Structure formats: structure tokens, C-alpha cells
A and B are shown apart, each in its own frame.
Chain A
Amino acid sequence: MSPQDAAQPLMGSTVPPIQAVNDFVVKFANVNGSGSASANQLFAKAILRMGIPVTPRNIFPSNIQGLPTWYEMRISDKGHMGAREGVDLMVAMNPQTWDEDVKSIRPGGYLFYDNTKPLPASKFRADITVVGMPLTSFTNAAYAVPRERQLFKNIIYVGALSALINIDPKVIEDLLAEQFRGRDKLIAANHKALHMGRDYALAHLPCPLGLQLAASDKVGDRIFIDGNAAAALGALYGGATVCAWYPITPSSSLAEAFTRYCERYRKDKETGKKRYAIVQAEDELASIGMVIGAGWNGARAFTATSGPGISLMSEFIGLSYFAEIPAVIFDVQRSGPSTGMPTRTQQSDIKICAYASHGDTKHPLLLPEDPNECFQFGALSMDLADRLQTTVFVVLDLEIGMNERLTAPLQWDDSRKLDRGKVMTSDELQAGKVFGRYLDVDGDAIPYRTYPGTHPTKGGYFTRGTSRDEFARYTEAGDAYQRNMERLLKKWDTAKTLMPKAVRTDAAAPTKLGVIYYGSTSPAIPEALELIAEQTGASLNQLRLRAFPFGPEVEEFVDAHDTIFVVEQNRDAQMRMLLINELECNPKKLVRVLHYNGAPITAEFIARGIAAHINPTPVREAAE
């Protein structure tokens, strides 16, 4: 079939087509394993190179080949990076998900599809603009080899779309040239496919659509990186030398990125020997065991895992708490409980991370909002673990960890020194300094430790998960046990002074309404507040939590407001639980806004939740 007799090249819409410049959502519906990922990424990068902020999201199943995947791009000159409801342009490449894909288009939106095989009219909607291109027949006519057909089909549709929404083809050409640097034939072949698609669209399709891109300057000097890679780089800058891990989505790419960066930055230039060790352990029991062994012996060590791994590690986490051994765990959260939805996002490990293990335990958490903070907190976690001699969690989620994001450039101050905490040296021991492994000598409740092998006769001690006295001698005496447990509580107070402070942003006018949020909810908040202001006229003060335990600024915020919305991505309002438990505040003040279907939270969802509470009349009608 030649392009000329393709069925339904264009169907008009019964409602006015959406007109937007640099502010819309494009979604690609693909099949897992079809090579679409790199074409989609190319598309996103081209938009970034035009200076327009874009936030892509991978939506994928727990499967390697053949199941549906989506790549959703939020394009926003205003810089909104949270997910948005509804799709403006659907690129429907997967017949399996056709119905739901077509349904997700906003009225007045656009559908781009492969019309090689005609579809009945009932498969479409009257209120959208349908753009058909005979992609398969067109590609098959141009390429004979099946693998080429598969790969170039993706580039051909990128070419067609570049004409439809006005992406500068030069930008795409440059990106392809960078991607295949040194392989000139491949570059030429890709450029050819790109222009075949583009030329077809210019000749046969209604270019331009109402959705348009125009070169902008809103990207600035920001970089494009995923949270897992940034966190791994943070660990490396924080001096981590031992990484022990067991593969689990969505955390594996963190350990893999650490491996890549170590190869680049941590090999001895002369000998090629490695100043790091990465062990893929047999399970999470072993990965955390290795981290604790390395931490005990003075190396900075971490593991990366997700919820099921934390469950398995719990006994060791308690040992680290009680025996006071530094460890860092990156928990890239996914939807639980059990195996849950392994490739969907959630913030549902907050409670287990905060209180993991039997007995009385609590653990510091760092809660990054974006890749830049993943880097900062990745490095900071290593210092905190050594300083506090306990397990420190860096709590990410799939949304932050596995999606590339525009984020402020990563920075490092060369005058910064790694803080190795209280370690007594051989000289100090020799000079007669008193060493009691669990002795608080200066009031911060953090005792000194020694690295094994430090001094021939002094500073040796026995580490155990059983009770002991200040000099690490085994005892079951109740008072010694209790003294130790109380010191650990006091150490928790010291931790409060060391954790990153929550970030408060106040509304223009004074208000008694507040919102508390953390982690990957962050990008949706400013937009949600704009919507709330539009819909209800109300404005709220905001507090973004960055760590647990909470500093005094969190208590002050809670005290200063009458109603505080706690926005989270879990069912049981786990952070709200921690706030109530640790601050002993009035639970009635803390209103739950909970999103937990596995998709990233949207500004619209938050706005609906909050607006409904502020103004119980149906806000939608009121606003329209």
C-alpha cells in the first residue's frame, strides 16, 4: 500500500482543537522491548535543546518484552514538572492499549497513529483531531531487514512529529550525531529516516498542529539526570568504597550507576586497581551484612534496595542501631505491600524505614525531592552515618529514581572534608585517652569507636547485639541496659541538629492553612497551590520535609497553623503518623491528602483534595 491510499489521514474534531505553545502533554504508547525507548528519549532531549523544559516519565510493566509501556512528556515553559492529568497528543503505537489510550486524550486533543490497517470509526472519538500515517507500510517499503524496520520506524515517527509540532530538525540531527559519534554510516541512516518521516508529514499531514513548540530559554544551566544516577554519584563523592546490593526494581540502576562512575573516577591511574568494591550479594540479608561489616571496619558502605529488601534487612538494621555501626541504605520505593506493583511509584516505606527492626529503634531518613538533592543527600548520608554511627536511609521512589529530570547542576565544594565521625586514633590511645566504646564523653551521646587493628594493646572491643556496659562488656544488668537505651534516645536528639532542615515557603498573605509534603510530591505542589488559589482564593504556607527526625522548625510550623494538609503517596498517611507520633501534636489538625494508585501524584489531585476541604461546595463549577 502506498501512502496515497492510506485510510483516514485526518479526521477533524467536533470541539475546537487545543491550541498551545510550549505547554502540553505528549504521551507515547509503545510495546516493551521494541526499541522505542531511545527514540522517545531523543524526542525529549530535542525539546530540551530548544530551551523548553520537559519532564518525561517512563510507565512500564514488570516484564521484559511484549507488554505495554508508555513515555509521557510534560512540556511546560512555566516549568511545571509534576505529572498532569490528561493527554494533549497521544502517539498510539500499541494496538493492545488503544482503547484506554484514546480515552485518555483531552477533548480537543490529538491522536497520532499508524493507519496502515484501517480501523472502524467506532475506534475513534469525535472530539479529537486524528492524524493517521501509514507508518508500517511506509517503513516496510523503505527497509527490507526486519530489525531495521523496527528501529527506523521509531525514527520515522519522530521525524513526522517534528514536523507536526515544530521541533527543529537540526537539533535532532545533532543529537543523533552525538549518540552515534564515530559511526558515520549509522548517523547518515538515522538522518535519512528522520527526514523521510518529516517530509511525509509536511506533504500529507496537517502541519502544524495546534500544539506548537517555540525555542525558549527556560532550561537555563540545568542538567538532565535520573535520581538513581545522581544518588550513586553522591555516594561516590561522599567517599563510599563498598557497595553490596541485590537487584530489585526500581533500585538496581543506582548500583549500576555507581559501578559506572567508579570505573570512571575511582581507578588508580597508574595501576588500574580499584579503590572500591562492588559485590552483588546473594540476597538482601547478605548485602546489608556486608555493609555493616565494612562500616564496622571503617569503610563507607551502602546498599540500594526497595521495600521487599528493607523487610529482609530489618534484623541487621536493629543491630546497626543497637551496636552503633554506620550504614547507608538507599531505598527506592515502589508500590507495596508484598511484591505490590513493582514498577509503580509510591511513598509507602516511610514507616518501615523510620522504625525498622524489633525492639525500640528509630532511624534517620533523608528525603530528596529531585536528582540534585539525591546527589547532595547521597554524599551527606555517608557523613551522617559515620557521625551518628547508625543506619541512615536515603528514601527515594521510582518517580525520582528512574526518570530523568531537569535539575540544578551538581556542585561540590573542594574545601569540604569528609566527616568520619568520632574515631579514636592509635596516638590518642597511646596518649592514654580513655576509651569506652559506649561511653558518652562529651554530652552528644555519641561514643568514640576504634577501627579494628588500631593499637596493639588498647582500644580493642567486642561488638555485639546483646546488651553491654559503657566499656562494651557483656551484661544483662537492667540499669546498664537502660542507660544505654536512654543514651540512644539522646543521640536521636543530636541527630535532630544534624539533619537538613525542612524548607518553609510562606504565602504572600498570612494564613492559618498549611501544607506539608516531601520527596517526589514536590514538583506538583506549586502548581497545585496555583490551582487552589484560582478555585478557592485560598493560599497556604508550605513546608517541605527533607529529613526525619524532624527539627524544631517542623514543630513550629505545625503549631503555627490550624489546618495542615499532609500530602503523601501512600494509603495509611505514614508521614502523618510520624508527625503525630514524634511531635505529639493534635491529629485533627493534620488532614490527609493521599494518592496511592501507583501513578505519580498530580497537581490537580492535590488541588481537588485540599480545595474540597477548604470549600465544601463543588469547586469545579464554581471555577468555571
Chain B
Amino acid sequence: MTYLPKPKLAHPELQKNDLGYTRRDYEGSISTLCAGCGHDSISAAIIRACYELSLPPHRIAKLSGIGCSSKTPTYFLGNSHGFNSVHGRMPSVLTGANLANRELIYLGVSGDGDSASIGFGQFSHSIRRGVNMTYIVENNGVYGLTKGQFSATADRGAKNKRGVENMDEAIDMVGIAIQLGATYVARSFSGDKNQLVPLIKGALQHNGAAFIDTISPCVMFNNHEGSTKSYDYVREHNEAVNFMDVVTGREEITVDYEPGTTEIVRQHNGGLLKLRKLANDYDVTDRVAAMNFLETRKARGEIVTGLLYVDPDAEDLHGYLETAEKPFNALTDEELVPGAAALAKLNASLR
């Protein structure tokens, strides 16, 4: 496999966003994944979300681990800096990068093997710390890149391609994320762009640890009868709790919504999440209720999707650490080095 630059054809009808960028400006090189792989749909959703939010592409840093899913940052945001790190350790690299410059937007892309097996610790701890990031797991229940072994999100009783059953309990990443203090938690399906794009937009606007578990079928190794991560299975068992829209600054909320069916959540930075409730009485800001709801529905065999939990006023790691506003990578020598006089004083105290 070699790098394939995407042919840049001029499309006069391509619309420009507020910053004057077209969709093309958010694309990357041509995907080398299998045709029909769920991961490609997620890349497309990321492109659309960034375009619609009019984010300057170069102010987004995209980081990943290792796996088919972790390869995808090459296929979107071609002008952004990207970092394909080591297996399971995107979260620590992202944390360090975020500490160095708090002004960029950090997008972490990972797989279920990458985040629920080898990187389970790093996933958990980056969430606990409240790193300001959008963390997307492209969840297919298998290790795609090493050819179809079960991952830790494979359901107990799910069958692999050869009919062998998985005997281990599955890790439910949204449940863990909520429990560990993620302040924006969603689940979606790569096959449902209308649901996924707004969820990514809301996450990108969120200040704090935003996590999206995206079920993303592996057509090569996990899309058969007996799999619980196949297109058919997910479509049949998908139960959305809400449908979300992200209202950008200029759009006004003019329509009156029927109380009880629509909720407006204003995030810290002013972004508005407009939620149309599908499950009655589901309160996205109630963490305990969310955990309860998820467990109850899981027991019924439902795959609950949508925005599951949000704390619109969340703090992030920089807030906890009380770091200065200026990015560390822009600090001058004067701001960093205490100088000779301070050292002379220190010497005197050490005699």
C-alpha cells in the first residue's frame, strides 16, 4: 500500500462555509479500508461535522492508536497535523499534546481493540482526568487489522465468522465512560449519519472529555449472522433515546417546542444542543439515571444510541491544573527561565 493523493477536482457548486472552506478542505487522502467498512462512514461524518461547524482545519489535531480505525485520520482533515501513535496509547499522547497547547481542538480516533483491550487503562484515565477532547471509538467488536479476533467489546454469545462463540463478558464503553466522569457521552452507529454528525459536532464543541462509542461494522470479519455488531443486527436493535441537532451561534431558536419532547442544552462555550426526546423522561444531564437506563435497556437486548449524558458546564484538565491561558509551546525564555539571580539566591539557601 502506498499513499494515494485524492484527485482535487474543482467543483464549482461546492458550497463554502463561514470560513470560506469547502467540504473538500476537510477531506484527506483516499481510504485504503475495505469497501463498505463502517469506519469510512465515520470519517465522512467527521468531515461533515467539521465543515458544518466551520472549524479551521489546521487548528484541529487528530490522533489515533493502531488498527484499521486508527488509520482513518489519514482519510480526513488532510491539512491538519495528525499522529498515528502506538497501539492503545492515543489517549496519553493526546493528553500530552493538549497540555502543550490548549488552544487546538483535539480529536482522538481509536478502535475497540485499541481502547477496550490494550488501551483500556489509557482510555479510562484520560476520561477521568477530563482531557478536553473528542474521543471516538470505531467499535466493530473485532480486531480488524489483525484479521478478525474478538475484541473486548464483543458480546458474550456473539459468534465469529467460523461460528466460534465469545465466552467473555463485553465491556460497555459508554457505561464505563459515564462512570469515570466523561462529561459528554454518546453512542451512535456508522450507518446513521443523521444521528452521528450532530453528535460529533456537539462533542467538538464540548469543553471536557467527550466520548462517542460508534458501532462500525467490519464487513470483512464481523458482519455475519450471529454477530451482534453487523449492519443488520445493529439496525434491528438500535433504540435511540433522542435525536440531536447542534444549533450554531447565528441560528435563532424561533420555533416553540412542545414541552417535554424537546430540550435545549447550552454548552459552556455557548453552543446549543437541541434534543428531541424519543424515550420519555430521559434526562441527559442526570448521570445516575443514565447509567440505570443503559443497564436496564441492555438487559433487554437493546442498543441504546443518542446523546446519553452531558454536563454542559464541565471543567477540563487545564481547569483542574490551573494552567495559564498561553499555550506552553508559545512561552518565551523569559517566561520559562527564572535566571541567574534566582539561582544565586537558591545557592545561598543550600549552604
Spell out A's residues near B (CB within 8 Å). Answer: 48, 221-225, 233, 236-237, 239, 241-242, 244, 265-266, 268, 271-279, 281-283, 285-299, 301, 315-316, 319, 409-414, 417-418, 450-457, 460-466, 469, 473-477
Q: Count chain A CB atoms within 10 A of each CB in B56, B121, B338 and give the residue with the most.
A: B338
- A290–B2 contact, CB under 8 A? no
Contact with B56, one of A233, A290, A456 (Cβ below 8 angstroms) = A456
Residue B280 CB within 8 A of the other chain: no
Residue B84 CB within 8 A of the other chain: yes
- B82–A463 contact, CB under 8 A? yes
- In the complex the two chains form, what is the Cα distance from A456 to B80 in whole Å? 9
- A464–B81 contact, CB under 8 A? no
Contact with A299, one of B56, B78, B101, B321 (Cβ below 8 angstroms) = B101
- A286–B97 contact, CB under 8 A? no
Residue B45 CB within 8 A of the other chain: no
Contact with A451, one of B83, B101, B333, B335 (Cβ below 8 angstroms) = B101
CB 8 Å contact bits of B103-134 with A (1 = contact, 0 = none): 11000000000000000011011000100000
- A290–B96 contact, CB under 8 A? yes
- In the complex the two chains form, what is the Cα distance from A290 to B59 in whole Å? 20
Smallest CB-CB separation from B63: which chain A residue? A293
Give B59 Cβ to nearest chain A Cβ, in Å.
5
- In the complex the two chains form, what is the Cα distance from A285 to B351 in whole Å? 39
- In the complex the two chains form, what is the Cα distance from A319 to B129 in whole Å? 25
With known contacts A474-B74, A475-B2, A297–B96 Cβ distance under 8 A: yes
- In the complex the two chains form, what is the Cα distance from A112 to B73 in whole Å? 70
Spell out B's residues near A (CB within 8 Å). Answer: 1-3, 56-59, 61, 63, 73-74, 78-86, 89, 91-101, 103-104, 121-122, 124-125, 129, 318, 321-329, 331, 333, 335-340, 342-344, 346-347, 350-351
B78: A residues at CB distance < 8 A:
460
Q: Count chain B CB atoms within 10 A of each CB in A242, A277, A463, A469 and give the residue with the most.
A: A277
Q: Top 5 closest A-B pairs, CB basis?
A: A293-B96, A289-B92, A298-B329, A299-B100, A452-B81
- B93–A289 contact, CB under 8 A? yes
Contact with B125, one of A281, A417, A469 (Cβ below 8 angstroms) = A281
- A412–B340 contact, CB under 8 A? yes
With known contacts A239-B333, A297-B329, A268–B324 Cβ distance under 8 A: yes
Smallest CB-CB separation from B329: which chain A residue? A298
Selected A-B contacts with CB under 8 Å, 14 pairs: A275-B335, A286-B122, A290-B96, A293-B94, A293-B97, A293-B99, A295-B96, A297-B61, A299-B327, A301-B96, A316-B86, A451-B329, A455-B58, A463-B82
- B125–A412 contact, CB under 8 A? no
Q: Count chain B CB atoms within 10 A of each CB in A237, A298, A299 and give the residue with the most.
A: A299
Contact with B84, one of A223, A237, A282, A465 (Cβ below 8 angstroms) = A465
Smallest CB-CB separation from B102: which chain A residue? A277
With known contacts A265-B338, A275-B336, A453-B61, A224–B350 Cβ distance under 8 A: yes
Give B70 Cβ to nearest chain A Cβ, in Å.
10
Smallest CB-CB separation from A242: which chain B residue? B99
- B85–A475 contact, CB under 8 A? no
A274: B residues at CB distance < 8 A:
321-324
- B92–A286 contact, CB under 8 A? yes
A454: B residues at CB distance < 8 A:
58
Smallest CB-CB separation from A417: which chain B residue? B333
Smallest CB-CB separation from B126: which chain A residue? A286
- B96–A242 contact, CB under 8 A? yes
- A281–B92 contact, CB under 8 A? yes
Give A87 Cβ to nearest chain B Cβ, in Å.
27
Contact with A289, one of B82, B104, B122, B340 (Cβ below 8 angstroms) = B122
A413: B residues at CB distance < 8 A:
340
- B103–A453 contact, CB under 8 A? yes
- B93–A296 contact, CB under 8 A? yes
Q: Count chain A CB atoms within 10 A of each CB in B101, B337, B343 and give the residue with the most.
A: B337
With known contacts A236-B338, A274-B321, A413-B340, A223–B350 Cβ distance under 8 A: yes
Smallest CB-CB separation from B98: which chain A residue? A293
A475: B residues at CB distance < 8 A:
2-3
- A294–B99 contact, CB under 8 A? yes
Contact with B95, one of A222, A279, A418, A474 (Cβ below 8 angstroms) = A279
Smallest CB-CB separation from B82: which chain A residue? A462
Give A327 Cβ to nearest chain B Cβ, in Å.
10
B63: A residues at CB distance < 8 A:
293
- In the complex the two chains form, what is the Cα distance from A281 to B126 in whole Å? 10
Smallest CB-CB separation from B80: which chain A residue? A460
Smallest CB-CB separation from A462: which chain B residue? B82
- Other than the known A241-B100, A290-B96, A412-B337, what 5 A-B pairs have Cβ atoms closer than 8 Å? A279-B95, A285-B92, A293-B100, A453-B103, A454-B58
- B122–A297 contact, CB under 8 A? no
- In the complex the two chains form, what is the Cα distance from A232 to B104 in whole Å? 29
B95: A residues at CB distance < 8 A:
244, 279, 286, 289-290, 293
- A465–B350 contact, CB under 8 A? no
A287: B residues at CB distance < 8 A:
92
- In the complex the two chains form, what is the Cα distance from A386 to B350 in whole Å? 31
- A237–B337 contact, CB under 8 A? yes
- A290–B125 contact, CB under 8 A? no
- A418–B336 contact, CB under 8 A? yes
- B331–A241 contact, CB under 8 A? yes
Contact with B3, one of A279, A410, A450, A473 (Cβ below 8 angstroms) = A473
Give A149 Cβ to nearest chain B Cβ, in Å.
32
Smallest CB-CB separation from B73: which chain A residue? A462
- In the complex the two chains form, what is the Cα distance from A441 to B105 in whole Å? 31
Contact with B328, one of A282, A299, A412, A463 (Cβ below 8 angstroms) = A299
- B97–A296 contact, CB under 8 A? yes
Contact with B339, one of A412, A452, A453, A456 (Cβ below 8 angstroms) = A412
Give A350 Cβ to nearest chain B Cβ, in Å.
25
Smallest CB-CB separation from B121: which chain A residue? A282
- B100–A242 contact, CB under 8 A? yes
- A461–B81 contact, CB under 8 A? yes
A316: B residues at CB distance < 8 A:
86, 89
- A319–B338 contact, CB under 8 A? no
Contact with A410, one of B58, B74, B335, B343 (Cβ below 8 angstroms) = B343
- A414–B323 contact, CB under 8 A? no
Contact with B342, one of A48, A265, A298 (Cβ below 8 angstroms) = A265
Give B11 Cβ to nearest chain A Cβ, in Å.
18
- In the complex the two chains form, what is the Cα distance from A265 to B336 in whole Å? 9
- In the complex the two chains form, what is the Cα distance from A454 to B327 in whole Å? 13
A294: B residues at CB distance < 8 A:
96-97, 99-100, 328
Contact with A242, one of B2, B59, B328 (Cβ below 8 angstroms) = B328
A289: B residues at CB distance < 8 A:
85-86, 89, 91-93, 95-96, 122
A292: B residues at CB distance < 8 A:
85, 93, 96
Contact with B92, one of A290, A417, A476 (Cβ below 8 angstroms) = A290
